[in-house]
A and B are shown apart, each in its own frame.
Chain A
């Protein structure tokens, strides 16, 4: 009986602590990426860029950096450690474009790099566009 109870406790505790650890890592990695972005944002704003241009430049800097780290196989490791902390920020979007592009290079520049680049980014763009159209139509009638 005791052994059985112990086993149940172990089984109950195992996934929970794994989830807890994953969440702590996601918090840390995602938080650091956003904090770095905020530092870049503050620097560019104080350099006199408009709010819109600053937003784009920060995204561009994060994207280029991530793609470089993806090509060097470093972002992979960030992903293994950070989980959602690495794929939820915009850096994850950049990684999702560069990684399959590199991975499927052998299938050619058109159907390999060109098509596989949008393996994950494609659905995000498709559903984002659909959502924006619906928001736009509703906004037109209620504004």
Chain B
């Protein structure tokens, strides 16, 4: 059942993104930025975690989930270290995911070349 709700909620968040593409002509980069900031704000006020409880990966995997991860990280860091945590929480939360993407993105660039179409 949790797989079904992940599908539905994740799909709906993507539909929201698609509507922004089709109706506002915003570029995908702007939509991603908007979603991350939105997720961070909703995470900050504690709303997004309720969606995560309900939809699991359907809420964490779309980009607003990335924003929520940053909010959760910074709140945890502030709890542990006070104001210093403001400087470390966001980056600490995204460290693992960004590192994986950078390392494997780099390797992909080394072994693959732009001319390799089909």
Task: For residue B30, give the distance in angstroms from its CB to the closest CB of chain A.
Answer: 8
B108 touches A71 (CB 8 A): yes
Chain B 13-34, CB within 8 Å of chain A: the 1/0 string? Answer: 1111111111100001101110
Q: Which residue of A lies closest to B116 (CB)?
A: A73
Chain A 83-95, CB within 8 Å of chain B: the 1/0 string? Answer: 1110111111110
* Residues on B with beta carbons closer than 8 Å to the beta carbon of A25: 18
**B47, CB-defined interface residue at 8 Å:** no
B8 touches A31 (CB 8 A): yes
Most A CB atoms within 10 A — which of B17, B41, B89, B93?
Answer: B17
Main SS at interface, chain A = helix
A22 touches B118 (CB 8 A): no
* Residues on A with beta carbons closer than 8 Å to the beta carbon of B111: 71
**A48, CB-defined interface residue at 8 Å:** no
A85 touches B90 (CB 8 A): no
Q: Out of B14, B78, B101, B117, name the residue touching A84 (CB < 8 Å).
A: B14
Interface bracket on A: 35 or more
B63 touches A92 (CB 8 A): yes
Contact residues of A between 75 and 89, Cβ < 8 Å to B? 82-85, 87-89
Main SS at interface, chain B = helix
A84 touches B15 (CB 8 A): yes
A132 touches B74 (CB 8 A): yes
B7 touches A56 (CB 8 A): no
A140 touches B78 (CB 8 A): yes
Known A-B contacts A71-B112, A131-B70, A140-B82; A31 and B7 likewise in contact (beta carbons under 8 Å): yes
B41 touches A102 (CB 8 A): no
Most B CB atoms within 10 A — which of A38, A39, A88?
Answer: A88
Contact residues of A between 16 and 37, Cβ < 8 Å to B? 18-19, 22-23, 25-35, 37
**A139–B18 CA distance with the chains assembled, in angstroms:** 32
Most B CB atoms within 10 A — which of A40, A55, A132, A136?
Answer: A132
**A136–B74 CA distance with the chains assembled, in angstroms:** 5
**A111, CB-defined interface residue at 8 Å:** no
**Knowing that A85-B17, A97-B101 are A-B contacts, what are 10 other residue pairs whose CB atoms are under 8 Å apart, sorted by A's residue number?**
A29-B14, A30-B17, A34-B11, A38-B57, A42-B2, A84-B15, A92-B28, A113-B109, A135-B43, A137-B83
